[in-house]
Amino acid sequence: MDRRLFLGFTASTAVTVATASLVSIAAVKASGRYTANNPLLLNKNENPLGMSPRAIEAAKKALSKGHRYAGDYVTILGEDLALNEGLKLQNIGISNESTRIIDAVIHSQANKNATIVAPAITYDQAQEAADNWNLSYQAIPMGEDFKMDIAAMEAASLKIDGAVLVYLVSPNNPTGRLTPSNSIIAWIKRAPDNVFFLIDEAYHELVADPFYESTVSLVKAGYKNLVVTRTFSKIYAMAGMRIGYGIAHEEVMNEIKRYYASWNVNIVATIAASASLKDHAFFKRSFDENQATKQMIYKTMDKLGLKCIPSEGNFILHEIGMDLKPYQRAMFERHILVGRDRGTGQSWNRLSMGTVDEMTYFIEQFQRLHS
Ligand SMILES: Cc1ncc(COP(=O)(O)O)c(C=O)c1O
């Protein structure tokens, strides 16, 4: 593994970590099964199970088609996705990542000089895109316990004269919180014409809440004031393959497609994604493992008197009982990579779920740190 990547991305972290490693060789030795070159990755909200066996098989076979453009297979995947949602191919826009669609939607608002309204703590790529396209970005403070303050976001949007783009992630990253579907859906329905919604449903398939409803229902009902984004990076375990998609009214999707090359997906990822959609056993295993590991973390934190934010994603934002930097360092010494600073305060960290086995190791180390 690239050592810079392993060290946590910045030179200053690297220096701190290197110093810490020198003073704590005992902890490094104790970690045994994980090493500096093979750390336990609990930092990027990936699916720890690896790709579905059917997707791997399909990807291997697809390599023999690497000299062909992906066109027909993109259409097949689009049809599969449309069928799953009860929509038409024309409602689907596939790209090499959902982040690319997020960027395209924000770019599409640039000539309207839209203001982006988003919760203060959320996935940071929308803000990055807004900066790239010179759009102003209003970050609305979070409510109590990192709840999204929909009323405050709506009030802010109503004060803006021109075009508004609301970026809303549910379940949110890095908080894991699901915003009640009825509050999102009601807002989209009553919003004035100058307000457009980008609803990021990256963690949609992992939600267990029986009251959850995807905003795709609004696309189905004919609403033209939203785009929903989804990804194969999470439950489908294809983060490294880079494939995601958007869902919107046909007219809206046609407009968004003007802002990205809609065939910019590789044939291997496309064919593997189609196979993955059909592997229901793998889907269930991923869902169940994620539920089980989250319960393990809730129990552990509860025992230690540390708060967790209830999560509907594949990660948990939890109190760490110490400051973030020394915590990251201590975990690094045990060859575990945990989340980076995401604006949630010094005493919190976002922990991505590993397998049951991996989380057992994490819990052992976390408890030792707090004993
Ligand atoms: C809310 C959210 N949206 C999008 C993404 C990225 O998805 P993709 O890999 O399809 O770009 C992530 C990744 O962590 C995320 O948390």
Q: Read off the DSSP letter of residue 35.
A: B
For residue 303, give the CATH number of its domain.
Answer: 3.90.1150.10
Task: Name the closest-CA residue to atom 2, ligand 1.
Answer: 202
Question: Which CATH number covers residue 119?
Answer: 3.40.640.10
Residue 33, both tokens: 């099964």
Residues 14 and 104 in one domain: no
241 and 337, same domain (yes or no): no
At residue 361, what are phi and psi to the nearest 5 degrees?
A: -65, -45
- Domain boundary, last residue among 254, 278, 302: 278
Q: How many Cβ atoms from other residues are within 10 Å of residue 39's Cβ?
A: 18
Ligand 1 geometric centre to CA of 369 (Å)? 31
Centre of ligand 1 to C-alpha 30, Å, is: 34
Q: Are residues 33 and 16 in the same domain?
A: yes
- 131 and 241: one domain? yes
Rounded mean pLDDT for each run of 10 residues along the chain, 371 residues in total: 34 37 42 84 98 98 97 96 98 96 96 96 96 97 97 98 97 98 98 98 98 98 98 98 98 97 91 98 98 98 98 98 96 95 92 97 96 90
CA distance to 96, 126, 230, 290, per residue, from 100 (Å): 7, 10, 11, 26
In tens, the pLDDT along 253-266 reads 999 999 998 778 99
As a whole number, the mean pLDDT across the chain is: 92
Q: Judge if 330 and 249 occupy the same domain.
A: no
Nearest to 241 by CA among 94, 40, 34, 79: 94
Give yes or no for residue 123 CB within 6 A of ligand 1. Answer: yes
Decide: residue 261, CB within 10 A, 0-12 exposed, 13-18 middle, 19+ buried: exposed
315 lines ligand 1 (CB under 6 A): no
For the question of whether the overall pTM of this predicted structure is more than 0.75, the answer is yes
For residue 244 and ligand 1, the question of a CB distance below 6 A is answered with yes
Residue 169 CB–ligand 1 contact under 6 Å:
yes
Is residue 141 domain-shared with residue 95, that is, in the same domain?
A: yes
Per residue in 274-320, pLDDT (tens digit) is: 999 999 999 999 999 999 999 999 999 999 999 999 999 999 999 99
- pLDDT computed for residue 31 by the predictor: 52
Mutate to test the pocket of ligand 1, among 41, 98, 236, 238 (most ligand atoms within 8 A of CB): 98
Mapping DSSP to helix (H, G, I), strand (E, B) and coil, where does residue 62 land? Answer: helix
The verdict on 269 and 300 lying in the same domain is no
Let me know whether 208 and 315 are in one domain. no
Among protein residues, the one whose CA lies closest to atom 16 of ligand 1: 173
Distance 370 CA to ligand 1 centre (A): 32
Q: Are residues 244 and 305 in the same domain?
A: no
Is any atom of ligand 1 closer than 6 Å to the C-beta of 313? no
**Does one domain contain both 174 and 265?**
yes
Query: How many domains does the chain fold into?
Result: 2
Last residue of a domain, one of 236, 257, 278: 278
List the residue whose alpha carbon is closest to atom 6 of ligand 1: 99
Q: Which of 243, 258, 278 is the last residue of a domain?
A: 278
CA of 167 to the centre of ligand 1 (A): 13
Contact 28, 332 (CB under 8 A): no
Range of the domain at 60: 53-278
CA angle 229, 172, 330 (to 5 degrees): 125
Q: Does residue 29 share a domain with residue 78?
A: no
How much distance in Å is there from the Cα of 100 to the middle of ligand 1?
A: 10
Quick one: 239 and 266 in the same domain? yes
Predicted pLDDT at 15: 34
Alpha helices by DSSP H, listed for 243-279, are 250-256, 267-278
Helix (H, G, I), strand (E, B) or coil at 255: helix
